[in-house]
Structure 1
Amino acid sequence: MTTVGDVVAALEAAYPPALAESWDAVGLVCGDPAEPVSRVLICVDPVESTVDEAVEAGAQLLVAHHPLLLRGVHGVPASTPKGGLVHRMIRAGVGLFCAHTNADSAFPGVSDALASALGLTVTGPLDPKEDGRTGIGRIGELPAPEPFGDFVARVAEALPETAAGVRGAGDPDRPIRRVAVAGGAGDSHLAMATALGVDAYVTADLRHHPASEHLAVPGAPALVDVAHWASEWPWCEQAAAILRERFGGNVDITVSTRRTDPWAVATAGQNRRIPG
């Protein structure tokens, strides 16, 4: 019999809690470690949609990348959105385990999964920890150089579709071979990507001013901005593979395909002439 505690132990071996940032909230959020598990659902966001999916699938454990209760709370009343999810999971016998910045820094981790989806061969972390193997982001190489316009199309093809799509900033003809990637919001590592001399940097949640200032630096890498959820979704299959190898045949491991990216509508609008 496989238990919640067994699955938690396997995930914490792959994504050690010690790698999590001090502000983070990782680990088992709710659920009894002694309870048996026959089905696990893996997702990016523990939200109403994925909790619905876990309950509908009869899963005993929901494994999520993002924490449900990141900031300190003094209660989880069912009348609040997050409290309601906790109560629903407990009533349905669904535990919740979260691996966040520990999964970001682990080797392999979130950015390794993103790099693999893009066809990159990883050579090391973008922002390494002391051991030189773990840390935020990854540096990788394409099999051969390709124009930046083609590389942006590669990213769009590799990741799940979202309303906002994929945006590229840079010369479409610039040759791209060496690439930095960081799953999730990565504009805090723009300067580091520049210092490492990569040709392009793929991440999420890039803002106007940091991106504009970055591109003004001579030699700065071209930028590819993707949806936060899409950049981290490849990790779900990575985590699933770890559990299948450990518990295959005894536990059904499923990756959620429900898009939990909050942006649902996007339009290019009409081409309007700027006066003057």
Structure 2
Amino acid sequence: MPTESSPAPPTLRQVGQVLDELYDPSWAADWDAVGLVCGDPDASIARVLFAVDPVGEVVEEAIAWSADLMVAHHPLFLRGVHGVAATTPKGTLVHRMLTRGIALHVCHTNADAAAPGVSDALAAALGLTELRPLDPRPDAPGLGTGRIGSLPRAERLDAFRDRVASALPPTAHGVRVAGDPDRSIATVAVCGGAGDSYLDLVRAVGVDAYVTADLRHHPASEAGQYPAAPALVDVAHWASEWPWLADAAGRLVRALAQRGTTVETRVSTTCTDPWTLHVPSAVPAAGHRDQEGNIH
């Protein structure tokens, strides 16, 4: 409860207005679904939980913390629906949130394009500086998907791999690398989330390494065939976007403070990466086993 000296909490409408200023819905891709998903705009908002995925485990975290609002990066609904009955997993989540008074707001590709946005947070976590968009928006300087930056000093790829692994939250996926471990890395492109659609652009800008998620076999294999191709560092999708949560929470609090109000925020630490186990191959990289188990 607010005291005489503390500001009254904002309404959901006021919080949504700030989020839309920070992450303009017009920046979202035309296929995306961003903004308010459920909740009463006139409801009072005291606690806001930030999370990558609006899934069951995170909803339970929000309930346990008595959150009034969840700000998620990934949409709950990307396709049109004709009902939200509690007969499907997503319908059940909507009912669970609404019966506990929890609203849901999504900032997805509009947060990817923002400055600072998702890729800025990933780049900062890796210690990159002198950032600029990888795929800039032609209508707005500074905005765009992905970032290009520089390390404080060049380092070997195997050391850069360790930098990435220590900067991001652990997952079963881990960090996969394609490239010569001795290669020198000084300039780096990053893209939070799935980024293999930018492989040609990354090669064209001439960076030493590219950090992103969801790299597929064929695009990664083909990219590595070009002369002077950048090293590829593939991380879990959830881990690549998680650093943005704290940045978004801080920006929301500061913007609300300028309006004379505030909220308490929390960043979800629940790992919602879908992969839960990883068993590395026991076969030495220099060979393979035949049907009799002999190494060649």
TM-score greater than 0.5 by the shorter chain: yes
Corresponding residue to 2:216 among 207, 216, 227? 207
Pair 1:254 & 2:285 matched: no
1:180 match = 189
Q: Please, what TM-score do these two structures have when normalized by structure 1?
A: 0.97
In the TM superposition, residue 164 of structure 1 has moved relative to its aligned partner by: 1.3
Q: Where does structure 1 differ by over 6 angstroms across 4 or more consecutive aligned residues? A: none
Corresponding residue to 1:221 among 222, 230, 235? 230
Pair 1:33 & 2:45 matched: no
1:196-217 residue CA offsets vs partner (Å, 9 max, x unmatched): 0000000000011100100000
Pair 1:73 & 2:84 matched: no
Q: Identity over aligned residues, as a percent?
A: 58
Pair 1:82 & 2:71 matched: no
In the TM superposition, residue 151 of structure 1 has moved relative to its aligned partner by: 0.4
**2:132 aligns to what SS in structure 1?**
strand
Letter in 1 for 2:63: V
Distance 1:151 1:66 in 2: 28
Runs of at least 5 residues in structure 1 that lack an aligned partner in the other structure: none
Runs of at least 5 residues in structure 2 that lack an aligned partner in the other structure: 1-7, 291-295
Distance 1:140 1:147 in 2: 16
Distance 2:227 2:281 in 1: 32
Pair 1:143 & 2:152 matched: yes
Distance 1:164 1:99 in 2: 25
Distance 1:6 1:206 in 2: 38
Distance 2:93 2:74 in 1: 14
Letter in 2 for 1:207: R
Identify the range of structure 1 (128-137 vs 77-86) with the bigger mean alpha-carbon deviation. Answer: 128-137
Contact 1:115 1:122 in 2 (8 A): no
Letter in 2 for 1:63: V
Distance 1:114 1:38 in 2: 28
Distance 2:115 2:54 in 1: 23
2:3 match = none
Identify the range of structure 1 (2-11 vs 182-191) with the bigger mean alpha-carbon deviation. Answer: 2-11
Output the aligned Cα RMSD. Answer: 1.2
Q: How many residues align?
A: 276
Distance 1:216 1:256 in 2: 39
Pair 1:263 & 2:275 matched: yes
Identify the range of structure 1 (132-141 vs 19-28) with the bigger mean alpha-carbon deviation. Answer: 132-141
Contact 1:204 1:225 in 2 (8 A): yes
Distance 1:3 1:162 in 2: 36
In the TM superposition, residue 30 of structure 1 has moved relative to its aligned partner by: 0.1
In the TM superposition, residue 244 of structure 1 has moved relative to its aligned partner by: 2.0
Distance 2:51 2:134 in 1: 25
1:58 match = 66
In the TM superposition, residue 72 of structure 1 has moved relative to its aligned partner by: 1.5
Pair 1:101 & 2:113 matched: no
Distance 1:74 1:210 in 2: 37
Q: Please, what TM-score do these two structures have when normalized by structure 2?
A: 0.91
1:110-134 residue CA offsets vs partner (Å, 9 max, x unmatched): 0000000000014310011012311
**1:103 aligns to what SS in structure 2?**
helix
Identify the range of structure 1 (242-251 vs 74-83) with the bigger mean alpha-carbon deviation. Answer: 242-251
Distance 1:47 1:126 in 2: 30
Identify the range of structure 1 (127-136 vs 101-110) with the bigger mean alpha-carbon deviation. Answer: 127-136
1:168 match = 177
Distance 1:16 1:164 in 2: 32
